[in-house]
Structure 1
């Protein structure tokens, strides 16, 4: 019944036109605030999905790495057990070390990554080739696949260079003293191509043959920096990780894709909540308008409250009537705002109406993605803010005693 009162009060003409104006201002503010929250969260979802897809091109579903130190030793029996684990699609053995590439007077410090031939089926780096082709060569004739940033630093066009690059790689050294002649290997190497994924990779990594790098570093054939694993179902990566823990035990660290990039995901999540909190200020402003609108409505409906009191209505009923009025304003504004945001996001997905300026990113429009949980979050926020804003005038209305004779 109190909802019916709230609806009639909303539609009815007021003696003071300012009440109608303030009510509609409140609704408009709710529309703007709700739509802004949905749109900003959708943009964050879009960028988050894009960044995760780019990082997924380089980081695998699971990775086995040393718990301490730089290398792990894998026996033939462990590798055989690894091949029999249910859920693993493929895995690649990798060795990583910093190295120096030199082309004449140009030098670049790179994160050199030696991989085996399973690497192409374990990751999707080969789908992001910018120039040349993906090829790691052989142990005797290794090739390099560079990030485009390194390619630019060296001043070359990967895959079409005539003269080889000079590569310097530190060897495994158990002593504290460094002997430049014995502890650093140098060789010449040609490039096969370059990749472009994301600046973190493009400016850092160079990929080559696994055995070549092992020999350059003086590692044993069964020594690796880690094992990168692709699973059949990414949602079951943690379950596969538990099986691997039983095989490898202590001394090995098994990480899923989130754990490999924990700081990145934490920062993205923090930024999302900061923007959400800032945009909630718009809803707080709308709440101030709601306080004013409901306070003036209480003064407008003093005679109605007196009649209700005379008919035996208790304070709780009056409280619910004005709380319902505030929630009604919020529902109208929030509903319209969500509908507008939904239409805008769908249009952006279809027609790319809002461009991404600069021209240096992989896409030229703002990526957006709708998530049901965002609508639930925003709707809950709108209802909580409107409830708190409605509470003060509703309580005042329920506690006031009006006399029909004075009216």
Structure 2
């Protein structure tokens, strides 16, 4: 063992040191520990919320979406669907057709997006887990049914057990002006009964009404066109690789997007917010770590006699400074490792038991703070703490004034 390490380890909480120095050293370790623990817990909770938001969007969005670059709809015959289905990693292909329309139910009205979906839609998304009332039913024999977003249902005061009042769907006719004498002539109108209500996320709940695609084609007046082709991937498939293969089959008239690309702005915001939180908390942690400067300064004052003895014995100035540099690093790493361990245990307990509950969590999709630990976060926290601790210790140790022994 190098003498610098041996001496630094002996100085760490040395029994013969003055109590005040030990207390300051302990406070320094605790400060680093609490800061590291707080940083990893906050980052893990942020990961949990980010993962929750992404999972909510993933419940409705397909793995890969093909849509037209220009216009709202296109003929699916313009895409070689058979070739796409043969791409390794693709589980299912579904067609959708969307249009904004007016929903009337009893004396209530609501403007919503009518999304026509085919029978494969349930295998494309995770909608079956998001039904909060009723059931996931779009067709039954010759009857069509609608699955309504929770926000839309609330706006309409919708009752699923009302057999006498179906929903009336109004879609503007293409190129038909509105007549002041009979405004309804400008709309295609169809009746449909709701079978279920889903709840995913406000953006979807307050916007969408899902109907069979044939019903949508009939009321929109587009018997063959679609708004998008939605693709589901098999477990373990590489979305980017499959996207590239699909894009190679389609022409430049179509855009092919993964889930990340469908909500690219959202993902960028979540990532930038996480790093903003990281740097803000790192700055707060920096203040706690600078307690090390005070601890080392007092230790240097107390050990002046030892410094003189080491110098007289021939120890180089660099070696003496390294003793206190290592002392500072030991304090930093002791606090950082302890903080990360305690923070990891707290995060694990929160994951398993949901100890800390969300306020009004019973009305949300979860009732406790979500937590997701990532190895990169632990490495990042340990790295930033080590760097700041090293700078603080280096600054303090470099200020040591070592008197030259007599005769030198």
* TM-score when normalising by structure 2: 0.92
Please say if residues 311 and 405 of structure 2, whose CA atoms lie closer than 8 Å, have aligned partners that are also in contact: no
**Number of residues paired by the alignment?**
400
The answer (yes or no) to whether the contact 1:345–1:370 under 8 Å persists in 2 is yes
Question: Displacement, 1:391?
Answer: 1.5
Provide the rounded CA distance (Å) in 2 between the counterparts of 1:171 and 1:64: 26
Shift of 1:220: 4.2
Alignment correspondent of 1:118? 120
Instruction: Tell me the equivalent position of 1:375.
Output: 378
1:116 deviates by 0.7
Contact 1:92 1:122 in 2 (8 A): yes
2:220 pairs with one of 203, 214, 217 = 217
Take 1:308 and 1:60, find their aligned partners in 2: how far apart are those partners?
70
What CA distance in whole angstroms lies between the structure 2 residues aligned with 1:299 and 1:235? 63
Using the TM superposition, give the Cα deviation of residue 396 of structure 1 relative to its aligned residue in structure 2, in angstroms: 0.9
**Distance in 1 between residues matched to 2:77 and 2:245, nearest whole Å:** 17
RMSD of equivalent CA atoms: 2.2
Q: How does 1:14-163 map to 2 (within 5 A)?
A: 15-75=17-77, 78-137=80-139, 141-158=143-160, 160-163=162-165
The Cα shift of 1:138 comes to 7.6
Deviates more, 1:384-393 or 1:342-351: 342-351
Q: CA deviation at 1:313?
A: 2.6
Distance 1:171 1:78 in 2: 30
1:330 Cα deviation from its structure 2 partner: 0.8
Quick one: distance in 2 between partners of 1:21 and 1:182? 84
Instruction: Classify 1:55/1:77 alpha carbon distance in 2 versus 1 (closer, same or farther; 3 Å).
Output: closer
- Partner of 2:391 in structure 1? 388
**Aligned match for 1:207, one of 200, 205, 210:** 210
Query: Could you say what secondary structure the match of 1:72 adopts?
Result: coil
2:332 aligns with 330
Match in the other structure for 2:297:
295
Counterpart-to-counterpart distance in 1, 2:43 and 2:306: 43
CA offset at residue 183 of structure 1? 4.9
Taking a change above 3 Å as real, the CA distance of residues 316 and 182 of structure 1, as seen in their structure-2 partners, is farther
What is the aligned partner in structure 1 of residue 364 from structure 2? 361
Residue 210 of structure 2 aligns to a residue whose secondary structure is: strand
Q: Deviations over 1:86-106 (max 9, x none)?
A: 211001100111111011321
Task: State how far apart, in whole Å, the 1-side matches of 2:184 and 2:113 are.
Answer: 21
Runs (5+) with no aligned partner, structure 2: none
Q: Distance in 2 between matches of 1:19 and 1:29?
A: 15
- C-alpha displacement at 1:19, in angstroms? 1.8
Q: Where do 5+ consecutive residues of structure 1 fail to align?
A: none
Give yes or no for contact 2:152–2:207 (8 Å, CA) kept in 1: yes
Tell me, what secondary structure is at the counterpart of 1:117? coil
CA contact (8 A) 2:97 2:213 kept: yes
